[in-house]
Amino acid sequence: MARLSDFAPDYAVHLRELPLPSFGTTPWTPAPALTRARVAVISTAGLHRRGDPEFAGGLGDYRILPSDIADADILMSHVSVNFDRSGFFNDVNVVFPLERLHELAAAGEIGSVARWHYSFMGATPPERLEEAAIEVARLLREDGVDAAVLVPV
Amino acid sequence: MGGLSHYLESAGIATTGISLIREHTEAIKPPRALWVPFEFGRPFGPPHAAEFQRDVLRALLGTFAHESGPTIDDYPHDAPAGGTDEGWACAIDLPAPEPVTDLEAALVATQRELALLRPWYEQSRRTRGRTAIGVSGLPPEQVDEMAAVLARYAYGEDPAAPAAARHALPELIRYLADDLRAFYAEATAAQPGGGYPNPVEFARWFLTGTRIGDVLFRVRDRLVATDDRRLRGLAFVLIPRAFGELRAG
């Protein structure tokens, strides 16, 4: 895992034929030095707080995950079953490495951990994500975040 | 992730991301990426491997050192093996999932299976201080009812959604399946022997070694047999594509 040649032939064909976004250009924002960076995690694992509305898929909406959230309050309602969930069931950090990020901040390897982190539903057409992503970018800036790690599932 | 990285980076937030399929990342060209050779569902590697997860995170953050992009770094290590050296097997002696052809027998078999696993689910929940059950709206104490709803649907009935459910049927089906999958996965995490299954071992056992797996296949069969496109779509979020042809018994 995971180059296309690693998959069964029919699944590799399915993955190869998935429509992919094409933006023509790659935007670039200079990154801060890690020891000064304020870092947020952006997940597309369909994570949300217990009690939040579940993801329905394809809507481009997002959920907020506070930096002090307890593992016990994190649920996953991703629409796909074509990935392993047993890792997440046993350890949230497999998909949402908040505890690891706090450890790096405590060790001085990064500047600080964002107050808020965000979760989207994967496999959502990018044009449906644009409005929410622009809003999340504004919220990240208000939180002082200058570096985001994007984590698919 | 390509769309999100594009919009966030364009808005002034430096981004990097995990790449699970290198060819897709090469095509999408996000600003920075770290390709990892791990199973889908485990972008930071196996559970309960904090040092390994930290190393992946450091490598991911290390991509911020590039001065121009797009860039893709390759994480150099495979994930530590999950499961046991000999191959994982459920320590609980579940009855063999022999074919069951009527609802009453299926209800008895699924309730017995849940009863056998429940002490280990409860132990796991106490040890870890959490459960991933909850997306259906039903609490872990109602796993029997979750399984019964799915069994009734599998055998042709149209059961009512339980009072605590957050969704109506048939949409509730996938959330019930997710919660039951969590119950079975968490029950395996505390069993004697100390090992827990890797993703393939767990999926194979859950779908072909348990009575609830047979119920899920029957639910899928009912959904795909309809003329309702929405219901047929629901069928594809019950059984992983790689296991679609397997059946118990």
Q: In angstroms, what CA-CA distances link A147 with A30, A90, A114, B63?
A: 10, 28, 9, 11
Predicted local confidence at residue B84, as pLDDT: 47
CA distance B122 to A104: 32
Contact residues on chain B for A29, CB-CB shorter than 8 A: 9, 12-15, 31
Q: Can you tell me whether residue A132 is helix, strand or coil? A: helix
What chain A residue is nearest to B71 in terms of C-alpha separation? A26
CA distance A78 to A92: 14
Contact of B149 with B162, CB cutoff 8 Å: yes
CA distance B34 to B17: 6
Contact of B19 with B25, CB cutoff 8 Å: yes
Can you say how many angstroms the Cα of residue B190 is from the centroid of all Cα atoms in its chain? 17
B167 close to A (CB below 8 A): yes
Predicted local confidence at residue A23, as pLDDT: 84
CA distance A13 to A73: 37
What chain B residue is nearest to A45 in terms of C-alpha separation? B41
- Give me A135's structure tokens: 């809003």
- B216: alpha, beta or left, given left = phi > 0 and alpha = psi -120 to 50? alpha
Instruction: Determine whether the interchain pair A93/B10 forms a contact, defined as Cβ–Cβ distance below 8 Å.
Output: no
Contact residues on chain B for A15, CB-CB shorter than 8 A: 21, 24
Residue of A61, A89, A127, A141 to mutate, interface with B, max B Cβ within 10 Å: A89
CA distance A49 to A51: 6
> Which of B:187-206 have CB within 8 Å of A?
188-189, 196-197, 199, 202-203
> Which of B:79-118 have CB within 8 Å of A?
none
**Number of H-type helices and E-type strands within chain A:** 4, 7
> Digits of tens for pLDDT over chain B (249 positions)?
778 999 999 999 999 999 999 998 999 999 999 999 998 999 999 998 999 999 999 999 999 999 999 999 999 999 887 554 456 777 777 877 677 789 999 999 999 999 999 999 999 999 889 999 999 999 999 999 999 999 999 999 999 999 999 999 999 999 999 999 999 999 988 777 666 778 888 888 999 999 999 999 999 999 999 999 988 988 888 888 777 776 754
Closest CA to A43 of A80, A94, A90: A94
Question: Residue A149's pLDDT band (boundaries 50, 70, 90)?
Answer: very high
Contact of B134 with A50, CB cutoff 8 Å: yes
Q: Can you tell me whether residue B5 is helix, strand or coil? A: helix
CA distance B189 to B197: 8
Q: How many CA atoms lie within 13 A of A7 on its CB side?
A: 22
The pLDDT tens digits of the residues spanning A60-116 come to 899 999 999 999 999 999 878 888 888 999 899 999 999 999 999 999 999 999 999
Contact of A109 with A34, CB cutoff 8 Å: yes
Enter the ipTM. Answer: 0.94
Q: Which of A17-31, A135-149, B184-198 has the highest mean pLDDT?
A: A135-149
Min distance B128 CA to chain A CA atoms (Å)? 8
What chain A residue is nearest to B127 in terms of C-alpha separation? A90
* Top-confidence residue, B133 or A19: B133
B126 close to A (CB below 8 A): no
What chain B residue is nearest to A1 in terms of C-alpha separation? B37
Predicted local confidence at residue A48, as pLDDT: 97
Closest CA to A76 of A48, A53, A41, A51: A48
Instruction: Determine whether the interchain pair B242/A90 forms a contact, defined as Cβ–Cβ distance below 8 Å.
Output: no
A4 close to B (CB below 8 A): yes
CA distance A153 to A46: 9
